Structure 1
Amino acid sequence: MTSPNQRFAGRTVAITGAAHGIGAATANRFLAEGARVAVIDREADGFAENLRDAPSDRLLTMAGDCTDAAVLADFHERTLAAFGPIDVLFNNVGQSGRERAAQFHESQEEVWRFVLEVSLFTAMRMSRLVVPGMRERGGRIVNMSSDAALVGDAGLTDYAAAKMGIVGFTRSLARELAPHRVTVNAVAPGAIRTRAHDRLTPAVIDRIKATTPAGFIAEPEDVAGVVAFLASEDARYITGQTLLIDGGRWMT
């Protein structure tokens, strides 16, 4: 019987956007539990810092832009060559408009397209690559949404639309794949302490805390633990769900 802390031994996990923050924390969580982990990120310099303790024989890193379909296909092929079929896919990569975000009446279509591309289309493309194999063997797909999809934060209309798109994609794909022993779920974090929060003013941070019932900002590891749960056998009967990790900011 597999030790509880090695429940992913012999499993192959692929994670997009994994050089920093939630992606890196989740990669470390899976590595700690015995998985072989393949990660891709445009900012590959973060791998050396945030995955520095990873066993080299169980980690594959690749630099690349996840919005490029050819790059994702290459990542998929490299993962298969190094570790074999993918058992768990975490579609983590995503981004708001950040400094280009704006109230809708002032927003730009080119920013909408970027946000949809990086937050929704990358998940669809990467899932399309792994689904044929998972239909044969079973597997787990976890998609990254956001509580912004449900709360509807002002100034994030494109991001909220993309992340609600993830919710719909998750539900439909879950129905298609359930007969094949594949679960598909989404996580929807709220305020998580990542590099994006470094650009926020103390006043904004205080406002976030004040509107979060738990009263604090979570760490990337808080999300990593939930992703690992959804990827485990403990969650074999959970599919098509969106699990909020936001300290109670949105309650369903």
Structure 2
Amino acid sequence: MIAVQRFRDRVVIVSGGGAGIGAAIARRFLAEGARVGVLDLATAALTVDMDAAEAERLFAIDGDCTDGEVLESFHAGTVARFGRVEILVNNVGQSGRERSAPFHASSEEVWRFVMEVSLFSAMRLSRLVVGAMRAHGGRIVNMASDAAFAGDAGLADYAAAKMGIVGFTRSLARELAPHSVTVNAVAPGAIRTRAHDRVPAAVIDRIKAATPAGFVGEPEDVAAAVAFLASDEARFITGQSLLIDGGRWMI
């Protein structure tokens, strides 16, 4: 159990929080006393080994984060259960994965999926919470990627979507700053998740070799940075993009 309780009784939403980085973020907020709403395609694994007190403060719904009606229903359910949303973490997103390809061989169908899940979902969910945040203040943390800065080959659609997150973050931060709302982005590099575990060992070795820190990060490394940006300690930080990639890309 994390001793610090920066988010006691705060209401947090984490999209894509059923596994991986999103689950680590949800668990971090729960450990610090928050009441957390999570939307993902599957959320059952999130409650494994969770104590009863934390489970009571979790509102987890299975659903598609790219479906605007599902987002609206989830947001309304979270507010009905816990009250207005004070912290939003737009975590959900992914590349085309097995459908990724060099740009000349890529398809518009995949581009549109990547944009929907990685960019438009963040914009839609943000619009649902900003009305109350304009009146009461709040925090928004968006999930970008160091792929947006490094421009990884074969990920043109994903890099475009994640750089879109950076631009969205900056514009929304400027718009909401007068209302005591901060908006920031985190940009992870190679982080050990279930998807990452399927990557061949030789590829992992190349990633480590290209990372000054010399190792692959854990979901908890990202969760710690998100928690800081969502805290009162980060009240004077807005419109920023924090890379969490062991120094692979430095700005």
Query: TM-score, normalised to structure 2's length?
Result: 0.97
CA–CA separation in structure 2 for the residues paired with 1:194 and 1:84 = 32
CA contact (8 A) 1:28 1:54 kept: no
Matched, 1:156 2:155: yes
> What secondary structure does 1:95 align onto?
coil
Contact 1:31 1:54 in 2 (8 A): no
Q: Structure 2: how far apart are the matches of 1:52 and 1:120?
A: 33
1:183-231 Cα deviation digits (max 9, x unpaired): 0000000000011112210010000000000000000000000000000
- For the pair 1:120 / 2:119, whether they are aligned, the reply is yes
Tell me the equivalent position of 1:184. Answer: 183
Is the counterpart of residue 67 in structure 1 residue 79 in structure 2?
no
Distance 1:143 1:50, change over 3 A: farther
How far apart are residue 4 of structure 1 and its match?
A: 6.9
- Say if 2:171 and 2:239, in contact at 8 Å, map to a contact too: yes
Q: Does 1:228 align with 2:227?
A: yes
3-state SS of 1:8 partner: coil
Residue range with higher mean Cα deviation, 48-57 or 113-122: 48-57
Amino acid paired to 1:95: Q
* 1: CA distance, partners of 2:196 / 2:52: 25
For 2:68 and 2:51, the matched residues in 1 are separated by: 28
Count of residues in Structure 1 that have an aligned counterpart in Structure 2: 250
The 8 Å contact of residues 20 and 50 in structure 1, kept in 2 or not, is answered as no
- CA deviation profile, 1:92-151 (whole Å, cap 9, x unmatched): 000000000000000011000000000000000000000000000000000000000000
Give CA-to-partner distance per residue, 1:142-200, whole Å, 9 cap, x none.
00000000000000000000000000000000000000000000000000001111221
Native 8 Å contact 1:15 1:90 kept in 2: yes
What is the Cα deviation at residue 56 of structure 1?
2.6
Q: Residues 30 and 37 of structure 1 are in contact (CA less than 8 Å); yes or no, is this contact kept in structure 2?
A: yes
Q: State the 1:48 CA deviation.
A: 3.4
- Structure 1 residue 54: Cα displacement: 5.9
Question: Is the 2:47–2:55 Cα contact (8 Å) retained in structure 1?
Answer: no
- In the TM superposition, residue 58 of structure 1 has moved relative to its aligned partner by 0.8
Matched residue SS, 2:4: helix
Query: Do 1:147 and 1:190's aligned partners in 2 also have CA atoms closer than 8 Å?
Result: yes
Q: Which amino acid aligns with 1:157?
A: A
Inter-partner Cα distance in structure 2 for 1:237 and 1:95: 30
Report % sequence identity: 69
Worse overlay, 131-140 or 46-55? 46-55
Mapped to 1, the partners of 2:229 and 2:3 lie a distance apart of 15
Aligned equivalents of 2:53 and 2:107: distance in 1?
Answer: 41
Please provide the CA RMSD for this pair.
Answer: 1.4
Q: CA 1:16/1:51 → structure 2, altered by over 3 Å: closer, same or farther?
A: farther
User: Quick one: distance in 2 between partners of 1:62 and 1:169?
Assistant: 26
For residue 215 of structure 1, what is the aligned residue in structure 2?
214
Query: Which deviations, in whole Å up to 9, do the C-alpha atoms of 1:65-115 show, x marking residues without a partner?
Result: 000000000010000000000010000000000000000000011000000
Deviation, structure 1 residue 50:
7.0
SS of residue matched to 1:14: strand
Q: Secondary structure, in 3 states, of the residue corresponding to 2:23? A: helix
CA contact (8 A) 2:134 2:181 kept: yes
8 Å Cα contact 1:96/1:156 also seen in 2: yes
Within 5 Å, give how 1:123-202 maps onto structure 2: 123-202=122-201
Q: Which runs of 5+ in 1 are unaligned?
A: none
